[in-house]
């Protein structure tokens, strides 16, 4: 990356120039909201990966930077006496879903930066998949009678939905 003679930030010869002047306060705020959710999911995926690595004995069982989600899934599903593989399969599915959200939010940020405004399709794709994850969690909470954690899943769903509305309501 470099700034050319006209003050344009050059990302590469294959991408268009983005001028610093085009980054309005509201556009910066919108990018910040997308970056916040992307970072949040990166942290969630990382703690889940660490727990998975501890389960696989790559990390010690005492590894502290782990989510505890595999244990929570195992405890929640135990009342139905499932195969010991079901909690691991569910955990792996959540991990894959979260990774997809991370990549979609990153793509939305990059596409928006290159366009100089929010890239609606990329933003909608990221939020669709993220809101779908929270919806799946809420359904699982009901099926498994996990009412204590359902509250946080509802709050995250609402926070992301509110963020999506704010992205559309804030001026461009």
Q: What is the pLDDT of residues 15-29, one digit of tens each?
A: 444 444 445 888 999
Please state, in angstroms and as integers, the Cα–Cα distance from residue 63 to each residue in 49, 60, 93, following that order: 11, 5, 22
Give the pLDDT confidence of 107-145 residue by residue, as tens digits: 999 999 999 899 999 999 999 999 999 999 999 989 889
Asked if the structure places residue 131 within a domain, the reply is yes
Q: At what angle do helices 85-115 and 25-55 cross, to 10 degrees?
A: 160
Asked if the structure places residue 6 within a domain, the reply is no
Domain enclosing residue 143, as ranges: 23-169
Asked if the structure places residue 11 within a domain, the reply is no
Asked if the structure places residue 105 within a domain, the reply is yes
Asked if the structure places residue 8 within a domain, the reply is no
Please state the domain count of the chain: 1
Give the pLDDT confidence of 76-111 residue by residue, as tens digits: 888 888 888 999 999 999 999 999 999 999 999 999
Asked if the structure places residue 16 within a domain, the reply is no
Which H helix or E strand runs over 19? strand 18-19
Asked if the structure places residue 9 within a domain, the reply is no
d(CA 148, CA 133): 18
Asked if the structure places residue 5 within a domain, the reply is no
Tokens of 18: 């983005």
């Amino acid at each position: 990356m470099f700034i050319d003679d006209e003050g344009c930030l050059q990302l590469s010869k294959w991408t268009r120039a983005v001028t610093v002047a085009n980054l309005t306060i509201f556009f910066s705020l919108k990018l910040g909201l997308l970056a916040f959710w992307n970072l949040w999911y990166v942290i969630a995926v990382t703690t889940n990966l660490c727990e998975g690595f501890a389960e696989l004995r790559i990390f010690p069982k005492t590894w502290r930077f782990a989510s505890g989600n595999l244990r929570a899934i195992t405890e929640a599903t135990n009342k139905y006496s499932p195969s010991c593989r079901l909690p691991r399969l569910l955990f792996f599915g959540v991990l894959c879903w979260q990774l997809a959200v991370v990549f979609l939010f990153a793509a939305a940020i990059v596409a928006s930066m290159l366009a100089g405004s929010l890239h609606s399709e990329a933003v909608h794709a990221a939020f669709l998949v993220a809101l779908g994850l929270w919806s799946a969690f809420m359904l699982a909470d009901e099926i498994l009678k996990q009412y204590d954690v359902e509250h946080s899943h509802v709050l995250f769903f609402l926070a992301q939905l509110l963020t999506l509305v704010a992205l559309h309501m804030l001026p461009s």
